[in-house]
C-alpha cells in the first residue's frame, strides 16, 4: 500500500512550476503542483480528460474557458474534458495545488 502525506509533498523551483506525482494508473493520475509567485501553467485543453484542481496552499488563479477566478485553500474546480484551463500563482506566497486527471492525457 502506498501512502502519501500531503504536507510533505512540496518542492519548488525558480525556473518553472514543479509537478509531483502521487499516484497514477491507466485511468487517472494525482499530482501536486508547486508554484512560486509568478509561475503558471499555460491554458490548454485535453479532449478526452477531466481535470480537478484542489488548492492545498496559497491563492492561485484558475482560468477556465477564458474566465479567471482567484482561489483559496480548500477550493476545488472541475475543468471538463475539452475546456481550456490553466493555473497561475499571481500571489506573493508559494501555492500548492492537488491535481486529479482522468483519464491521463496520454491515454486519450
List of residues 6+ apart from 61 with CB closer than 8 A:
68, 69, 70, 71, 87, 88, 89, 90
Phi-psi region of 82 (alpha: psi -120 to 50; beta: other; left: phi over 0): left
| Peptide bond preceding 76 in cis form (omega within 30 of 0) | no
Domains and CATH numbers, the chain: 16-107 (2.60.120.10)
Q: What is the pLDDT along the chain (108 residues), one digit of tens a residue?
A: 999 999 999 999 999 999 999 999 999 999 999 999 999 999 999 999 999 999 999 999 999 999 999 999 999 999 999 999 999 999 999 999 999 999 998 744
Q: What is the pTM of this model?
A: 0.93
Residue-level pLDDT at 107 = 47
Amino acid at each position: 500500500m502506498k501512502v502519501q502525506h500531503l504536507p510533505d509533498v512540496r518542492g519548488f523551483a525558480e525556473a518553472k512550476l514543479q509537478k509531483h506525482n502521487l499516484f497514477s494508473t491507466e485511468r487517472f493520475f494525482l499530482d501536486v503542483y508547486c508554484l512560486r509567485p509568478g509561475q503558471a501553467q499555460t491554458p490548454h485543453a485535453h479532449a478526452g480528460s477531466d481535470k480537478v484542481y484542489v488548492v492545498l496552499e496559497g491563492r492561485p488563479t484558475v482560468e477556465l474557458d477564458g474566465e479567471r477566478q482567484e482561489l483559496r485553500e480548500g477550493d476545488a474546480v472541475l475543468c471538463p474534458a475539452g475546456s481550456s484551463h490553466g493555473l497561475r500563482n499571481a500571489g506573493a506566497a508559494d501555492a500548492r495545488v492537488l491535481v486529479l486527471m482522468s483519464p491521463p492525457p496520454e491515454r486519450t
